[in-house]
Amino acid sequence: MSIFSSSMTHQYENFLQSYHALQGLEAICMVTHDKASAEGAKETTLKIDPNIKFTSAIFKDVGFLTVPLSLSNVCNNLTAFVKKNAQKWATLPVLVIDMRWGIATNSTAANFDQWAGEVEQLCKHLEINIVSLYNRQLIFDGHLATALHGHPYVLSARDLQPNPHWLPPSLHQKGTQRQKFDFLLEALIHPGNPTQTSHGAFAAEGTDPGWLPQSDPGILNDRTQSRAVGWEISCLGALQLRSSEGIEAVWKTYGGSTKKTKALFAYLLHKGAQGASAEELADFLWPDCPSCETGRNRLHHTVRSLRKVLKTVTDEASETPPLLRVGNRYILCPPANSWLDLTSFEQACRQSEKHILAGASEEALSCLHAADRLYLGDLFSDIGEEYVDGSERDWCWSKQYWLRDMFHKIQRELARLYREKSDYSAALIHCKKSLDVDELCETAHQETMRVYFAQGRGEAVERQYKIYTRMLKKNETHPAKDSVTQLYKDLMIQLES
């Protein structure tokens, strides 16, 4: 079953009160993100009923933080955890999972969609109730539908009720939009007894108004129904590609150029469903090529190398090639349930901004740290400046610059929030992360001075300002910011007074 709330503390307390009143509670096994949360949950449990047996594990203990994540290994660890305590207590516990594990690492975010299927099998195997606790303030937008459709029951303050939006895991992960619609409609017409219907092709399926390249309807049908293994694509920092089963793509192929193969993948990923023509790709990869024929031959060789790479991370049961050629255009076709780090990064940034405006510092810190973990460097940092900084096509540079700016804003907000909590060491760590990327980052120099000021260290404020001015002299093309100088003067006046 699932529970949604806007506060982890209230969420767990409300769960205890509602579940205890409706079902009765003898024992709880809880999995949460750290020891402090576990102690808080234990205290709340004993306050409501001191007779409830309680034990806990943290994410690291059961494998949620292992990279790459294997949910099957997590479920094996959860099984051992529950059985050990059930035997000790001579009663079956309720297993409570804090769903904040979904933003704990990049790998957990990428594998979040698989949770519903795994937890359903775990319920059947252990013959116990499993409760997933969701904090709505922290869950990524891309995970909302998974959370809504993933659990057959929802616990409210009044009762435990069937979830009218639940989809069987096989249907949620592999079904077409029409199959999902039919199941949900059937659930509304016949509550409690929906059936999965099987239909042939519909006239409306596969039709194209001309906005996207024409593809064979059979290919579209295979893409939406058969491919269960998705891709995990990390673009921030060095380009990384792995299957949702944890298999890493091997970019080095015999006779192929790794850098050009990666550049081709990155460019086609950026182009999306419209793809790119052979001429456009040849000009992108070999702008100084002596002839069109030579460019096409080189492209054919690089395309063949990319297909070999994609084959290693693509479900063998799928008949759909992950790289299509439609007429004269090439189109990259990631599996429907793939994960892209840029999407999660932007969602984490957006959610953190909402929490900052609302004054919810703890929720803001969680989202900011999630974004910080995702940013591993500049966008496509390893494919070569000659492909990123093309003068004729700005397909990457502007996005790269915007993402780097967001990285500095993340560090600034993390430093500010930790400074306001008087955790000065943590604040300085995030200032340093910004300065390691850009030694003239004004916001990092300003925040560092504010931290030193909060500590009452006037000499450190003065030293930091001198470091900034020295860096300016080294980089004469970089304009000085009056705001840095003004802040320095204001802080020194306050310290002297």
**What does the block give as tokens for 178?**
């029409």
Q: Residue 224 above 50 pLDDT? A: no
User: How far apart are the C-alpha atoms of 49 and 28, rounded to whole Å?
Assistant: 12
The SS3 assignment for 45 reads: helix
Q: Read out DSSP for 80-115?
A: HHHHHHHHHHTSPPEEEEEGGGGGTSHHHHHHGGGH
| 202 confidence band (pLDDT: 50, 70, 90) | very low
Percent above pLDDT 70 for the chain: 88
**What does the block give as tokens for 100?**
């904040």
| Residue 313 · residue 338 · CB < 8 Å | no
Closest by Cα among 326, 310, 149, 143 to 231: 310
| 12 confidence band (pLDDT: 50, 70, 90) | confident
User: Residues 417-441: what's their mean pLDDT?
Assistant: 97
Lowest mean pLDDT segment, chosen from 145-159, 297-311, 436-450 = 145-159
The SS3 assignment for 130 reads: strand
Q: Residue 237 above 60 pLDDT? A: yes
User: How far apart are the C-alpha atoms of 171 and 177, rounded to whole Å?
Assistant: 10
Q: What is the dihedral angle through the alpha carbons of 299, 343, 234, 226, rounded to the nearest 10 degrees? A: -70
| 373 confidence band (pLDDT: 50, 70, 90) | very high
| 188 confidence band (pLDDT: 50, 70, 90) | confident
| 315 confidence band (pLDDT: 50, 70, 90) | confident
User: Residues 66-93: what's their mean pLDDT?
Assistant: 92
Q: Quick check: do 2-163 and 223-337 share a fold?
A: no
| Residue 96 · residue 23 · CB < 8 Å | no
| pLDDT for res 198 | 46
Q: Residue 5 above 80 pLDDT? A: no
Domain formed by 223-337, architecture:
Orthogonal Bundle (1.10)
Q: Residue 215 above 50 pLDDT? A: no
User: Residues 239-260: what's their mean pLDDT?
Assistant: 89
Residue entry with tokens 């933080």: 65
Q: Are strands 329-332 and 276-277 parallel, antiparallel or unpaired?
A: antiparallel
Write down the domain spans for the chain. 2-163, 223-337
Lowest mean pLDDT segment, chosen from 9-18, 26-35, 128-137, 371-380 = 9-18
Q: Residue 303 above 90 pLDDT? A: yes
| Sequence-ordered list of residues with C-beta below 8 angstroms from that of 310, at least 6 positions apart, any chain | 249, 322, 323
| pLDDT for res 419 | 98
- What's phi and psi for 161, nearest 5 deg? -130, 150
Q: Please identify, in words, the CATH class of the domain defined by 2-163.
A: alpha beta
| pLDDT for res 3 | 56
pTM: 0.77
For 202, other C-beta atoms within 10 Å of its C-beta total 10
Q: What is the pLDDT of residues 327-358, one digit of tens each?
A: 999 999 988 778 999 989 988 998 999 899 99
